[in-house]
Structures are given as C-alpha cells and as structure tokens.
Amino acid sequence: MRSFSDYLRSVDDPAFLDLFSARPDLITPVPPDIASLAVRACSAPSLARAIDSLNQWQFQVLEAAAALNEPFALKSLITLTDKAASDALTHLISIGLIYPSEDGMRLSSQLRNVIGNEPAGLGPMSVAKLKLAELDNAPNDARKVLERIIWGPPRGSVGDIKNPGPGVAWLLERKFLVPLDQRTVILPREVGIYLRGGKVHKKNSINPPILEGSKRDEPQVNLAAIANIATVLRWVEELLNFWAEEPADALRAGGLGVRDLKILSNHLGVDESCTAFIAELAYLTSLISIDANDRIMPSNKFDIWLMQTPADRWQALASAWLITSRVSGLVGRVESRNVAALGPELDRVNAARVRALTLLILSENELLAPDTTSFNQLMAWRAPVRRNSSLQEELYLWTLREAEWLGITGQGAISEYGEIFLSGGDLNVINNELPKSVDHILIQSDNTAIAPGPLEHEISQQLAVMAEIESRGGATVYRFSEATIRRALDHGKTGDEIKAFLIKISKTPMPQPLEYLIADVAKKHGKLRVGNTSAFIRCEDTTLITQIMSDKKLEVLALRRIAPEVVICDHDAADTMRVLREAGYLPAAESSNGLMLTAPRANRAQTKPRPPRIIGEIEIPSDDLLNAAVRAIRTGEKSSHRQTHLRESVSQAFGALPRNSANETLELVNRFIDEKKSLSIGYADNNGSVTHRIIDPIRVSAGALIARDHATGEVQSFRIPRITGVAPM
C-alpha cells in the first residue's frame, strides 16, 4: 500500500463514514469509484476545506508532518512536537490528510502545496551533509544572523553574496545558509529545527485557552433576550411599513444607497450598522422585493409573515441569519466604502461557519458573557486557518453583536431561546414570554401619546400613520404634529375619523390642543388640488393662489397662472406636492376628473422576491445519505475492477482480432448469438478510427447487429460493414 488510493481501498465502511462526515464535499456529488474519490480528496480546494476544520494543535502537528521527509514514523513526529501528537495524528488520518503506507506515514499529494513551501517558517531540506554541532560554537556575528531568521521566514537579504559580512560568510561556508540569488540566502530546514531545540514550533498549543468573561444571572439573560426578540420583530415590521409608504430606490449596481439608509436609520432610531442588519434580515427572508422600476418595497410574503405567531416570525429571521453567507457588518466599514446594504458584495465564504462556531462556544459556556480578548484567543485556537483571515476577528465580534440584536443571546450570554433554537426545539415558549399586546394608549396634554406595551397590529398600523414614534422601549411614545395629521388625511381619513379613533383607543380624554390641531389641519387640507398637466394647482381661494404665486420658496416650480383659480407648472404632480409641503402648504392630489385622491399607500412589490444566494461550505449529509454514498462508491469500485479486467481481456483479444469481411462477420456473429457468448469487436466510427468494444450480441436486423455494450450498459446498433473483426471473449 503506497498510494492514497490503495489506502482508501483498505479502509472499512465506518472509516468512510467518518471521512465523509468531516469532508462532505467529497461526496457532492458521489464519485463513481475510489480512484475518483482519491483524486477529489487530493484536490487543492478540498484540502483547503479540510485544513480549515483543524484546530491550532492539529494544524501544528500537520505542519510538523510536512516538515519531515516521507515516509515518516510516529516517533519522529512526536520528537518534533509532543506525545499528544498521537491523538492529533489519528484525527488527521481519519480525515484523509495523512495516510499510513507500507513503510510509514505519508501526506496526501498536493497537501504540501496547500500548506506552503515553508511550513512553520522552515526552509527547504539541505542537499549537503551538515555538521550541526558546529552551530554551538558559531561566532557572535553568525549567531545574530541566525536569531533574525530562526522562527521564520527563513529567508534573509544580503548586500552582495560575493562580499557578505563575516557572520554570513561563516554560515555560507558551512552550508548553514544557502544562497538563492545574488542578494538572498535561506536557512535549511535541518538547521532551523536544530536551532529551535529539535522542535518545529516555539510553543505547542495542545490545549485550548480558557474562555474568560462575566458570569450572568439566568433570569436576567432571558429577560434581556426576550426584550431583544420583541425589538427585532418590531424593527423589521417598522422597516417594511416605512418602505410600503415610501419605497427606497435601489442603486444601479444593486443595493441600498447611503441616503436611503440614513433616512431609514433616523426613522427606526438606531445606528446605520443596525439598520443595515435589519434590512438584510428582511432581504434574506424574502420580505422585500425590488420591482421593475428598481424600487425596494415589501413583498406579498410580508402580509403572510405578519399573520404568523411571533415565534415563527422570529425563527424565520434567525434561521436565515444563521446560514447566510452575507455579512451586514461590512456596510459602513472604512475599508469597504463601496459596499452597500442589500448589495452583491456582502458574501463571505466562511461567514456561516464562523457564526456556527461562535454560537457553539457560547453554548459550551452557559451564562458566561465572554471577554472580547479571551474570546478572540479561543476562536484563534479553534479556527486558526481560515479564508478571509483579515476579517476573522471582526466576524466574531459582528456575530456576537448580531446574536444579541436577535435575542439568541442576552447580556452577552446564550439565552434559553437561543439554546432551543440551536437544538431545533419548540420555540412556542417565545409566544408565552413576549409581553402581551395592549389595545389602548394614554394621550398627554403635550400632543404625545404613550402606548404602555406593544400595541395590537391594526391599532399600531393606524396610529403609525397619525403620529411619529418619538421614543421606544417598554413603552412607546408617539407625537402628533401638523405633518402627521396631514399624512393621515392623505391616507383617506377625515378629521372626525381621526378624532373618533383616538377617543376610542385612549384611556385618557383628548386634550383641547390636539383637538384644535386636528380640526385646523383638516380645515386647510385639500384646499389646494394638484394634478398632472405636467401638473396643475387648483384652489377656490384666489387669495391663496396669489400667495403661492408670490412665494419665493416656490420659485423652483416656475408657476404660471392660467386662470384666477388655476396654476400650472412643468413638474410632476408628486414633485409639486412635495415642494408645496416643504413650503408649509397642505395640498391634496386630484384625479383627472376632479376627485380628490386620498387612498392609503400600502405598496407591495408586484415582482416575486429573489432572496440572495448562499455561498459557503457544504452541509454535513444525513446518516442515510452517508450510507448511500458508501454503498455507491463500493459498487462503483467493483464495477471499475470488472471493467479493468475486461479491458485487459479486450487488449489481449484486440491483438488477436482477425480482419473479417462483411459476410464473414455476419456468419460469425450469427454463430456467436446462438452460443450466447460475449464478443470483442473492432468498430470503425464516422472518421474511420477503430475502437474496441465488448458486447453481448442479441440479434441481427436490417444489416446491423443489435447488442448490449458493456461500457455503457445500453443496447446499441452496430452496422455490420463497420465491424472490422470479431473474437469471442
């Protein structure tokens, strides 16, 4: 057993199951036989994934193995590392990075290329015989040179290789340094290991660092988590309701613009990083869609989502976040200025893996809010080699922050709901723990109203049209103003309807200032009518028309008066209304037949939502799929062995194939059909090339031989004149 393929043929089914569980990419799709499996397992991408799964100690052992010449013994590996290398070596063998052969341990082909030519900062093996004992008596100049490169990188620069300093000259003379070119020298591997005291690494990281942090109280953790769950559900709902009113415009390159992100951030009352995270949650769960006009607005799935229980709504958000490859933390990062929320640049291949590992560590350390430095050290031990390593520490921190926002953690420690979610349990406990919704508000004398808890959905929707949210928390404070009352009137409400609604839901009497505000705005609303010419402005009050014509704030509209009560301009009706409102007027939209348009603007995208793709690692298959893969490979190997035997037989038969005429071929074929023998035939293709086929003849029909081809397993037709020779198997 000298090759990796031979080793794979020698292992039993449980070993295959362990291999495929650790490296599921090897059976995606299932290879046809063991030779193909070996090729895939030794490919650079598959080896890189396998190395990424190692902890720091396992990777140190792998580097030490790469520093040895093949084949090597376990004793040699322990000499370079520690006795604990035995267990690490067993794991490395189980995942196919190292395999035993007849004369010792060997590394999978291509593995050295993936690790690098200088494992653990060691240079190449020396081709000359070295007297390493002389290093103990090296002059001071030589010692100073060696101290700079002993722990890597093993290369150093010199001014001129022909005139080096005395220390470099002494080392070059004894082959302790090897010249690479006129200005570069390199330290041989044997010299590096000798100077390191016979070890490969300065410190063997056998055990993981202890995670430190603050101990939390379980009830307080769960209280904080349930508050975060309620908050994130409210954030998503408010975001989608806002975009239903005022859809955002998608950038040409895709994503949400900085201006729209700031507007949304101000509306939600959170910073832009949190706003980007909330928008991404809605995007991942298909709650938003981008229509043909590049407007971002809620999809029809939003209405379905609102009808679900809070537990189901939260689980949809948390599940999408856990498996996605998108990283919302990149938005607003100084090094990622061109990265936009909802844009295509947020994918990172190891994002989901980092999240899973982060939450696993939190689950292993219940009620512990980890210290940032300690957590980074532990993560560096658990996952020392990762792609996108420059983002690694930030990915950990972003995961901790987002898990807190979602309520998977509370006060930095894993919560009861996070544990249930990660274990796949029943989350209905969330429905019971969330604050009960209330159906009333308390109107204050300063034109504000307090909701003493989460409002029922219908009341919350209507109140959000009539008032702005001023502060959030256990109780929500709403503020009424001229602009919010005007917005409610634009949505089809009358002044009397607004008053009746507020009186009905308020436990306190309506104060006079608010009543006067509603009456005053309702009286002014709709005096101005705006339609499309491009746009016209109509008003029965000629004094107001005169005031508009002389208002310098409206000069941008370039208004032209065509009648005592009618003014026109070249701007669109929507733009005209916006300018008028900014100038302090209260216009209403008018249809082409003179009717005032006051319909609610709860927009929904007509296009089907397209959630983002997930870029990441392959999930571990179920036990049934793993067992099926093992059976398929075993069967394919038997088939490949049989095909090899047949090819050898064919090769022998091909040399003995006679050259037959068509009549002779027909006679032989009919005879062998009766004898039911497999045949080896030469068959000419359209280009005149003769290929070798192994067939089971069935019958002759219309000048063609109908037979089953062993190579494909299918019944095919072979024209008699193209058969160059026939021989029985």
CA atoms within 13 A on the CB side of 441: 25
CB 40 within 8 A of CB 639: no
Helix (H, G, I), strand (E, B) or coil at 392: helix
Which of 9, 107, 10, 12 lies closest to 51 in space, CA to CA?
Answer: 107
Tell me the backbone φ, ψ of residue 621, rounded to 5 degrees.
Answer: -70, 165
pLDDT category at 603 given cuts 50, 70, 90 is low
- Tell me the pLDDT tens digit for each residue of 98-130: 999 888 899 987 898 888 888 888 988 888 888
Give CA 688 to chain center in angstroms.
Answer: 52
Q: Computed over its alpha carbons, how large is the radius of gyration of the chain?
A: 38
Q: State the DSSP H helix or E strand holding residue 589, giving kind and residue range, or none if neither.
A: strand 588-590
What local confidence, expressed as pLDDT, does residue 388 receive? 53
Name the helix (H) or strand (E) containing 723.
strand 723-728
Q: Which residue has the higher pLDDT, 645 or 721?
A: 721
CA pair distance 457, 441, nearest whole angstrom: 13
What does the pLDDT look like over 382-424, one tens digit per residue? 988 655 566 778 888 999 999 999 999 999 999 999 999 999 8
Dihedral, CA of residue 411, residue 416, residue 420 and residue 422, to nearest 10: 30
Cβ contact 489:598 at 8 Å: yes
pLDDT band for position 472 (cuts 50, 70, 90): confident
Apex 610 CA angle, 608 and 614, nearest 5: 160
Rounded Cα–Cα distance for residues 726 and 346 (Å): 63
Quick check: 3 pLDDT over 90? no
Q: Using 50, 70 and 90 to split pLDDT, how confident is the model at 606?
A: low
Render pLDDT for 671-706 as a digit per residue (tens, 0 to 9): 888 787 788 888 887 777 777 778 888 888 878 888
Given a cut of 70, is residue 711 above it in pLDDT? no
**pLDDT surpassing 90 at residue 284:** yes
Q: How far is the C-alpha of 240 from the C-alpha of 198, rounded, in Å?
A: 63
Is the pLDDT at 547 greater than 60, yes or no?
yes
pLDDT per residue as tens digits for the range 125-181: 888 888 888 888 889 988 998 888 888 788 888 877 878 888 888 988 888 998 888
What does the pLDDT read at residue 457?
A: 76
Edge-to-edge, what's the strand order for the sheet holding 184-186? 155-157, 184-186, 178-179
Mean pLDDT of the chain: 86
* Dist. CA 426–CA 419, nearest whole Å: 11
Q: Which helix (H) or strand (E) holds 104?
A: strand 104-107
Res 528 pLDDT > 80: no
- Give yes or no for a contact between 660 and 724, defined as CB atoms under 8 angstroms apart: yes
pTM across the whole model: 0.72
pLDDT of amino acid 616: 65
Q: Are 65 and 122 in contact (CB under 8 A)?
A: no
**HEC-encoded secondary structure of 123-172:** CCCCCCCCCHHHHHHCCHHHHHHHHHHCCCCCEEECCCCCCCCHHHHHHH
Share of the chain above pLDDT 70, in %: 93
Most confidently modeled range among 338-342, 367-371, 599-603? 367-371
Q: Measured between alpha carbons, how far is 172 from 142 in angstroms, rounded to an integer?
A: 10
**More reliable by pLDDT, 429 or 714:** 429
Nearest one of 717, 659, 633 to 9, comparing CA atoms? 633
Three-class SS of residue 256? strand
